[in-house]
A and B are shown apart, each in its own frame.
Chain A
Amino acid sequence: MAKITNKDLNQMILRNNAARLTFNYESLQTIGLMRAIAPALGKIYEGDQEGLKRAMHRHLIFCDSHAFGNAFILGISTAMEETTAEDEKESITALKTGLMGPLAALGDSLVKFVFVPIFGSIGAALAFNGNILGPILMFVLYNIINWGGRIYGVKIGYFKGLDFIEKNNETNILARITSMANVVGLMVIGSLIATTVKVSSPLKIVAGENTIVLQEMIDSVMPNLLAFLLTVFVYKWLKKTEGKHTAATIIFLLIATVVATYFGIL
């Protein structure tokens, strides 16, 4: 049995990138993940063709997580394939299945709810002023995170994965980081409502000789109140419809805004 080297791990990192290409509605990214681990399996089961076949089938059992989670799962399952005896191989599948959900939640809440909105809003603010640094900065910052997760996911998974799992059972670190990321994400989202959603009304209320500009009145009570109320309203609506009509909601808002502009409400 040949030892897994850094070169094999690097190949795994490269192949993990292509996992989503095989995305399909039966097995999601499973095939891509099997493809990513296959060369390592070939090395671990060198000269044991039957073992290799069983291993390849084992990694075709449904598994799907966030790209960073996939990286970690690939790393840790390689380490386990190396160390476990033939009759303990089922534990690998069990571990993968147990990890994919929590890791997907962690990856999504870190990358999609925290980093992308933050980098996106920083980049967009620069780009609105015609500054080319906006997209460049976003590209650089985002890819430091993107590649960091993909590379260190595999490496940490392989070298420290089992320790990490053991520690996680004691300290529940995975769930805790996820809920901390959730707090950060929600505060960022709250801030973004104030900076990105712009709702203002040119309506005026004429009372005798006084004209009250509605927007000024609202702003003096609570700035960005309309934006906040609208966002909460859309949130309630999406929640009620279980997110099935996101596209229809966008189209509705588009048309409603044009109509409202025509009547001078927005």
Chain B
Amino acid sequence: MFLVSVWAFICSVDDSSTQMIRRPLMICTVVGLIMGDLSQGLLIGATLEVMWMGIGNVGAYTAPDVVSGSVISCALSIASGGGVATAVTLAVPTSILAQQLIIVVSTVMVALNPYAAKLADKGDVKGTNKLIFFPTLAIGLVRAVPTFLAMQFGSGIIEKVVAMLPEVVMTGLGTAGKIIPAVGIAVLMNVMIKDGKMWIFLLLGWVLTSYLELDVLPVTIISLAFAFLFDLASGQGQVVTQQSISTEDDIEGIEL
């Protein structure tokens, strides 16, 4: 329990700095290792990874917190023996609650601005190092403390609730885990489809996988060719126009 909270602390600080392990697949695998059930960790991690495919801080969209959602839901569902359906269900509310906490932290952090201005007033280069001490602690704890509390008080309750729920609800929740990826993907589409004609590429990728049953990797490689053609066709490269201008000059030169 303590170790999981430490892991939450590490993931949290990483998410705000080096961003090496910020995805559910990597987070949940380690949670599974700590809790002594690696296969469940892998399964939950893979499910959440797919479920939150497009969820992350992009543009103006405030995203549910993937890190807390992964750690807490994975740890609790392994502790309560609830399996993947429990993890999916818990991941949604925990990630949304954690998102609110993180908004609070980002608001409190506004206090750093006058402090940084003071350092600049003094020309204090060494002092700038201190700027991250408090944020590191705050960001680490904002995910570690809820993880600890959820595991301390939550697992017993969740075990009882899971036992109480009828079979059909658990099946439904399992199905929901496969439908929810639509939201993440829709978020990505919202950011990426800036003009109408781009739809055709989405359709193309979908058809390649749906009908030809190609995996993501071959589709990516095919898409490189289309990206190149798109670049040529949209003629944004002014290199081409400059070359044509210079050939015109050459022709004029010859004529003269």
Q: Which residue of B lies closest to A231 (CB)?
A: B182
The reply to whether A26 and B110 contact each other, CB–CB distance below 8 Å, is: yes
Chain B residues with Cβ below 8 Å from A197 are: 178-179, 181-182, 185
Q: Which residue of B lies closest to A243 (CB)?
A: B61
Task: Decide yes or no: A190 and B205 within 8 Å by CB, A26-B110, A138-B26, A139-B26 being known contacts.
Answer: yes
Other-chain residue from B95, B109, B202 in contact with A22 (beta carbon distance below 8 A): B109
Give Cα A116–Cα B184 distance, bound, in whole angstroms. Answer: 12
- Where chain A touches its partner, the secondary structure class is helix
Of the listed stretches A84-92, A204-212, A251-259, name the one at the interface; the rest are far from the partner chain.
A251-259
Q: Say yes or no for A6: interface residue by CB 8 A criterion.
A: no
Chain B residues with Cβ below 8 Å from A230 are: 179, 182
Give Cα A186–Cα B204 distance, bound, in whole angstroms. Answer: 9
Chain A residues with Cβ below 8 Å from B53 are: 117, 120-121, 192, 196
Other-chain residue from A38, A67, A227, A228 in contact with B125 (beta carbon distance below 8 A): A38
Give Cα A197–Cα B57 distance, bound, in whole angstroms. Answer: 21
Of the listed stretches B71-79, B145-153, B232-240, B248-256, name the one at the interface; the rest are far from the partner chain.
B232-240
Q: Say yes or no for B43: interface residue by CB 8 A criterion.
A: yes
List B residues 212-230 near A (Cβ within 8 Å). Answer: 214-217, 219-220, 222-224, 226-228, 230
The reply to whether B216 and A24 contact each other, CB–CB distance below 8 Å, is: no
Q: Which residue of B lies closest to A194 (CB)?
A: B209
Q: Report the count of interface residues on A (CB-CB < 8 A).
A: 107
Chain A residues with Cβ below 8 Å from B246 are: none
The reply to whether B56 and A190 contact each other, CB–CB distance below 8 Å, is: no
Report the minimum CB–CB distance from A189 to chain B (whole Å).
6
Other-chain residue from B20, B64, B193, B239 in contact with A139 (beta carbon distance below 8 A): B20
11 A-B Cβ contacts within 8 A?
Answer: A35-B116, A35-B132, A67-B19, A128-B42, A130-B42, A180-B230, A181-B227, A187-B202, A191-B216, A193-B205, A251-B92
